[in-house]
Structure 1
Amino acid sequence: MTSSIADLRKSYGRAELNEDASHAAPLQQFDQWLQEAIHAEVPEPNAMTLATVGSDMRPSTRIVLIKGYDERGIVWYTNYDSRKGREIAGNPCAALQFHWVEMERMVRIEGAVEKVGAEESDAYFHSRPLDSRIGAWASPQSQVISGRSVLLAHAARYGAQFLLHPPRPAHWGGYRLRPDQWEFWQGRRSRLHDRLRYRLDAGEWVRERLAP
């Protein structure tokens, strides 16, 4: 090997984040940064890491895609019987993280998770491409299977059964994380990064700076 991973370094300095220029409400700050990431055409700006903890106290993470956000929280969709679904059922506290590498920015969000209403899940499910709707039926997510042929057989079976109109499976739908804490991270030079945290206190958002 000609180089060591310990020697890999990057100097940050594209932007800054200060209290005067940031929004008083974290949702507005998030909306601004997400829209800037979209307009900058960073790869998959809607991708976020979801962290959950199981009953055995082992944390697990995976990438999911944000599908909506408003004052109620952050929404994504998945299989309720997956590992993340089972862990959320046992421990509804979770964390999300966006990492827009090209913009030297991260957003961390923590809070309690709940299922979205059936009508909301139905509306999003029926907006998906047909193959994605069939895939929701075909994949026993997080279960051990003998090979890819199992998925293909399931997809063929449900495709033939439902044709162009698969209904939403009862085991598939949306989750909403209701934030009680946000953190916005902007990379800065000399590792003196900007970190602004918003935490919910008696129904009001308190904004404070954290040391990097």
Structure 2
Amino acid sequence: MTYYTQYRHLALEGAKPAPTAQQIAAIEALLEAPLPPAFLAFLQVANGAWFDYTTDVPDGNGGVEKMGFNTFFSADEGDFCDETLVGEIRAAREHAGMPVKILPFARDGGNSMLYLDLTDEGGGRVLAYVQELPDWTGKRAHGLMELAPSFDAWLDSLYIDRDSVLDELEHCVSEPSHLDAMAEWLDIGMPAWRRDAGISALFALKQVELCASEQD
């Protein structure tokens, strides 16, 4: 069984059908700019998709914060703040004063967002708006910052975080189908995972545990 649609090194799930020419035209008309070829190519297979990958965001102290902007907006008709490209454009202009040629295209589990900057100055770079956290959670860089010079470069930078894999194997996998899906996800996004002693040992242990629980 196949659980994912593959695009380069990314495993996608839950995508809608490819957008129509009319939907693309509506997005570009509202955006007041053509969508870059790399973005259009990804949108064909990732329209409204979810993908579990890590983005390194500068933390303001010379390091990075690992974040997941895993919800990719769809080309559907939409209104404000509804995870459609046109709806999020309208919301960004209404609530954040975003200018034309700025495209919100993905968000994390909260209010942090990714934008494609298609202004003459931006040249297609990917920006992140990172929401400020309460003081008790620890300091983080927040506000608007550049992540990559292009959409293609941002896609290339996405990766599966090893610590997240170990944590999910230990605490979240409870069904054989979930383990099968994880193997496919890793085969796509981390092809050398079977040579990682820590991951492969925990994966094998989880296989034994699930097999034993099925026989009880």
TM-score over 0.5 (shorter chain): no
1 or 2, which has the higher strand percentage? 1
Larger CA Rg, structure 1 vs 2: 1
Q: TM-score, normalised by structure 1?
A: 0.24
1 or 2, which has the higher helix percentage? 2
